[in-house]
């Protein structure tokens, strides 16, 4: 390493040494602040001026045995966060981003056969970031708190998508098409129920996740159309819109087994059985 400086440059696997140790520790190296890494390498081995110091022990301990010192070779630029030493978008993104704890509903919201804008609205709802009237009022806006879908209760996340009489009438038909008998509840309970009933990679699981996201998206769209445009559509129209858009998306799917259950689901959702294999 002809050019790299021991204390300031990024040659060590843990990064520049001045970031790891205090400035006072530098005095224990026994070299000048501008000393090159090549100055502590001799005959292909480390040759520290003070090999017995605790600082040198710590520096050496963090160097993997596979990293052989070469004092007479030219320095080269490598992308150290990538296993191949070359630039890689994936490893760069992984190094930059903060990876949070995986949430229970991740697989319900994000999956390869989804529709991005549906997943996005569902994601906002799961994060409780949709601008419902309940949230707008908490921000100090003076607005009518009533639910525009039913006019029966205040518009909250818990009420809007499943517990509302308008939304519930849609969800009951949706659940019936999946041969499920239950009364839709408030948001938290329906979300957890959906998470438990969308596991696996079956046609039914993917179709359910798609319909769930489509339902939340189209109900939010209807809510916004009523709030901002004053236009109202009946629940049957919204339900038909959900069915049409789900059908358009599913017709691009393929490679699912041609089982009796999948055939039945295709009939219930008016989907061509061509999406099922032979
Ligand atoms: Zn309502």
Quote the ligand 1 centre to 163 CA distance (angstroms). 7
pLDDT band for 65, please (50, 70, 90 cuts). confident
Percent of the chain at pLDDT > 70 equals 99
Strand stretches in 40-160, DSSP E: 41-42, 45-46
Does the pLDDT of residue 59 top 90, yes or no? no
* Burial class of 93 by CB neighbour count within 10 A (0 to 12, 13 to 18, 19+): exposed
* Average of per-residue pLDDT across 31-46: 83
Does the pLDDT of residue 58 top 90, yes or no? no
pLDDT of residue 77: 79
* Average of per-residue pLDDT across 138-166: 95
Quote the ligand 1 centre to 228 CA distance (angstroms). 17
Quote the ligand 1 centre to 157 CA distance (angstroms). 10
Cα–Cα nearest to 174, from 227, 141, 137, 211: 211
Does the pLDDT of residue 92 top 90, yes or no? yes
* Average of per-residue pLDDT across 29-50: 83
Determine the Cα–Cα distance for residues 5 and 37; give it in Å rounded to an integer: 6
Determine the Cα–Cα distance for residues 214 and 117; give it in Å rounded to an integer: 9
Does the pLDDT of residue 1 top 70, yes or no? no
Quote the ligand 1 centre to 221 CA distance (angstroms). 14
| pLDDT tens sequence across 189-237 | 999 999 999 999 999 999 999 999 999 999 999 999 999 999 999 999 9
Quote the ligand 1 centre to 51 CA distance (angstroms). 75
Does the pLDDT of residue 71 top 80, yes or no? no
| pLDDT tens sequence across 258-276 | 999 999 999 999 999 888 8
Quote the ligand 1 centre to 185 CA distance (angstroms). 12
Quote the ligand 1 centre to 191 CA distance (angstroms). 18
Determine the Cα–Cα distance for residues 180 and 207; give it in Å rounded to an integer: 14
User: What value, to the nearest 5°, has the Cα angle with vertex 263 and ends 262 and 267?
Assistant: 115
pLDDT of residue 57: 84
pLDDT band for 76, please (50, 70, 90 cuts). confident
> Which residues have C-beta under 5 Å from ligand 1, the single-atom ion?
147, 149-150, 164
Q: Are 71 and 1 in contact (CB under 8 A)?
A: yes
pLDDT of residue 52: 81
Report the phi/psi class of residue 73: left, alpha or beta, with left for phi > 0 and alpha for psi in -120 to 50: beta
């Amino acid at each position: 390493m002809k050019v790299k400086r021991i204390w300031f440059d990024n040659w060590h696997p843990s990064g520049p040494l001045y970031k790891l140790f205090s400035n006072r520790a530098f005095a224990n190296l026994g070299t000048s602040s501008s000393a090159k890494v090549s100055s502590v390498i001799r005959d292909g081995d480390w040759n520290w001026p003070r090999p017995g110091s605790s600082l040198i022990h710590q520096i050496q301990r963090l160097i993997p045995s596979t990293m052989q010192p070469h004092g007479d070779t030219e320095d080269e630029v490598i992308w150290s966060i990538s296993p191949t030493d070359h630039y890689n978008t994936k490893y760069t993104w992984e190094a930059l981003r903060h990876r949070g704890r995986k949430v229970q509903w991740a697989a319900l919201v994000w999956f390869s056969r989804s529709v991005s804008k549906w997943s996005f609205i569902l994601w906002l709802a799961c994060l409780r970031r949709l601008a419902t009237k309940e949230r707008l009022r908490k921000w100090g806006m003076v607005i009518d708190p009533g639910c525009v879908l039913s006019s029966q209760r205040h518009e909250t996340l818990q009420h809007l998508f499943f517990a509302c009489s308008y939304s519930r009438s849609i969800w009951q038909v949706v659940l019936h098409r999946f041969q499920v008998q239950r009364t839709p509840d408030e948001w938290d309970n329906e979300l957890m129920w959906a998470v438990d009933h969308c596991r696996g990679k079956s046609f039914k699981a993917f179709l359910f996740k798609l319909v769930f996201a489509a339902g939340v998206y189209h109900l939010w769209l209807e809510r916004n159309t009523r709030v901002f445009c004053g236009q109202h559509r009946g629940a049957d129209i919204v339900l038909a819109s959900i069915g049409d858009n789900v059908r358009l998306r599913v017709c691009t799917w393929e490679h699912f087994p041609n089982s009796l259950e999948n055939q039945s689901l295709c009939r219930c959702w008016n989907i061509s059985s061509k999406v099922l294999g032979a």
